[in-house]
Amino acid sequence: MLFWQQIVLNTQDQSIMKFLTQPPRFLFFTGKGGVGKTSIACAAAIQLAETGQRVLLVSTDPASNVGQVFGINIGNHIIAIPNITGLSALEIDPQAAAQVYRNRIVDPVRGVLPDSVVKGIEEQLSGACTTEIAAFNEFTALLIDSVLTADYDHIIFDTAPTGHTIRLLQLPTAWSDFLEAGKGDSSCLGPLAGLEKQRSQYTAAVDALADPVRTRLILVARAQQTTLREAARTHEELAAIGLLQQYLVINGILLAGETEGDSLALAIFEREQAALNAIPDVLKTLPCDYIMLKPFNLVGLDALRQLLIESAPQTPVAMDSPIELNAPTLSELVNGIAADGHGLVMLMGKGGVGKTTLAAAIAVELAHRGLPVHLTTSDPAAHLTETLNGVLDNLTVSRIDPHAETERYRQHVLDTKGAKLDTQGRALLEEDLRSPCTEEIAVFQAFSRIIREAGKKFVVMDTAPTGHTLLLLDATGAYHREVARQMTGGIHYLTPMMQLQDPKQTKVLLVTLAETTPVLEAANLQDDLRRAGIEPWAWIINNSVALAQPHSPLLRQRALNELDKITSVADGYSQRYAVVPLLKKEPVGIGCLLELSRYAGD
């Protein structure tokens, strides 16, 4: 029996998803970017609220799009969702949380301590480390019994893509261990922060996460080998820290009925079936739900209510409706990049839009032209080597590994600053370097080191999903401000931020899909970059169904839905853009990546 037949049999009479059966108080949705975590979390929240439960939906993604899904502004405060009794939402905003955190520490000493001391405290609290801890404190406050959470039967967490989420869920234990040692410098938590209060809150958070009666983790994946492998890795990493109550949801499956007379639909179907039949062994034991691909965008209450219903009605589409799309290609963008001979090319965007594939395709094409290229990634969950699946002259590949970079940074500090300390001082320094904040500093230094190479060659960087990238840029900005403050008397200096702001040295490519929320998120990212003095060079609209000219009714409806989104990019967001089609064959391997970079239409 084919896997899709099993799915149909298993879901025919299913009125509720397994992951929503007897739900605990805390539900975490996690997975690789673009698998549908936000949509499923929102749909689950609606379903629970409409059964009379009081539900708080929380986004821990620094680039949350929960508000976009509901069509409202949410932000860093709890608000009621209109037209859904019992449902409220909160988007944890790291920057807003950091400002509240700084005010709480600094305001009591203003007018008490000298202005120079207060300014020093503010400088100490201006970095990315403070931003992460402030957001983390808001997250752990939701896992303990308090006035803040007393009104809710269920708290649903829509998390950032996997790499960031694993770090978030590991942090309660990391900070508890660090504080329990009681020997380290407390500077990462800020002066006068009150370590005892933090210790008790983090301990309570650890207990809640490890309690299967209170916490359930839902791993969301697509019927794709990469997302299923990542779900398997996430399962094992989080099980190792005690999160054992795990469920699996496989989203966006194309059924066989859509393949008739459509070679693209048939190729997608066969690819998905191969991935489902080769599902990693560690996932086979988990309770599993399947969600079929829908023809509509998952925005608004009506669409969200239909997501978890397998018999959702489809909008009829006229098979002779023209799908007219004439758009610039990726090859045209690569020509413009290659003309400079060297430079930094950064691909940014929402998780799951295909940054890794497009970064690899651009790097491969530049290297194939004889240009020296360093392809790298700052995404903890990226799989560049799997995408390349081969080697090429003129191309080197690396990954900013947070664990390796942290160890390198710790050793460097011990060899330099530590070499001048006595035994007691060195022991204190070693304790301080065990702080989870050390990772942020180490990753920033690795990022800075790599982009310096762009003066002599091409450096193509596949960045982490939007929220994590913004935190990295926050660290870059904090470093720039500190250097600028210290450099006086006309001394010449060049910071990584100055390089990112120089269009002659850096080209930022925003990657999106022709769907509502990815386009809105890319637009918000563009606004954030502009506020930092960084002007995106171009947009890439990836995996376009419209450009692939499908025949399946479901895919044609999705293709027609894309056209106004592509127009909005061309007319409202970027004069320079390219559209890349959804391909029959996955773009894996040097040859396929070259085909993708040179695609000129059928």
What is the per-residue pLDDT across 43-86, written as a single tens digit (0 to 9) for each?
A: 999 999 999 999 999 987 766 678 778 888 887 789 999 999 99
Q: How far apart are CA 525 and CA 166, in angstroms?
A: 23
Alpha-carbon distance of 486 to 478, in angstroms, equals 13
- From 59, 516, 517, 597, active-site residue: 517
For residue 402, the model assigns a pLDDT of 77
Residue 461: both structure tokens together? 């960087």
| Residue 51 three-state SS | coil
* CA separation for the pair 585, 588 (Å, rounded): 8
Exactly one of 30, 39, 64, 165 is catalytic; which is it?
A: 39
Residue whose tokens read 């209450």 = 301
Q: 586: which residues sit within 8 A by CB, 6+ positions away? A: 271, 592
Alpha-helical segments (H) within 243-354: 263-277, 281-284, 301-307, 330-338
Active-site residue, from 34, 86, 351, 418 = 34
182: alpha, beta or left, given left = phi > 0 and alpha = psi -120 to 50? left
1 pLDDT more than 80:
no
Inform me whether the pLDDT recorded for 178 exceeds 80. Answer: no
pLDDT band at 486 (very low <50, low <70, confident <90, very high): very low
Q: What are phi and psi of 543, to 5 degrees?
A: 50, 45
Q: How does residue 489 score in pLDDT terms, banded at 50, 70 and 90?
A: low
From the candidates 61, 289, 432, 528, give the one annotated as an active-site residue: 61
Q: What is the pLDDT of residue 123?
A: 65
Given the candidates 3.30.1330.200, 3.30.420.480, 3.40.50.300, 3.40.50.1820, the CATH classification of the domain at 330-597 is: 3.40.50.300
What does the pLDDT average to over 101-117? 77
Residues 499-511, mean pLDDT to the nearest whole number: 87
Residue of 32, 37, 294, 507 marked active site = 37
Q: Which of 184-188, 403-407, 559-563 has the lowest mean pLDDT?
A: 184-188
Is 470 exposed, middle or buried, given 0-12, 13-18 or 19+ CB atoms closer than 10 A? buried
pLDDT at 165 over 70: no
Q: Is 352 annotated in the active site?
A: no
37 is an active site residue: yes
Among residues 30, 38, 357, 377, which one is catalytic? Answer: 38
Report strand pairing: 458-462 vs 343-348.
Answer: parallel
CA distance 523 to 529: 10
pTM for the structure as a whole: 0.76
Q: Residues 36, 86, 343, 418: which is the catalytic one? A: 36
86 is annotated as an active-site residue = no
Please give the angle made by the CA atoms of 327, 328 and 334, to the nearest 5 degrees.
160
Average pLDDT over every residue of 117-143: 70
Residue 408 half-sphere exposure toward CB, CA atoms < 13 A: 14
Name residue 507's beta-bridge partners.
345
- Residue 584: CB atoms within 10 A of its CB come to 14
Residue type, 437: C
Catalytic-residue membership of 517: yes
Contact yes or no for 164/463 (Cβ under 8 A): no
What count of Cα atoms within 13 Å lies in the side-chain half-sphere of residue 372?
7
Q: Indicate if the pLDDT at residue 175 is higher than 70.
A: no
Is there a catalytic annotation at residue 38?
yes
- Per residue in 17-43, pLDDT (tens digit) is 999 999 999 998 988 777 888 899 999
Nearest to 73 by CA among 81, 85, 62, 61: 81
Q: How far apart are CA 77 and CA 96, in angstroms?
A: 10
CA terminus-to-terminus distance, the chain: 36
Sequence ranges of the chain with CATH classification 3.40.50.300: 3-307, 330-597
In this prediction, residue 62 carries a pLDDT of: 62
CATH number of 3-307: 3.40.50.300
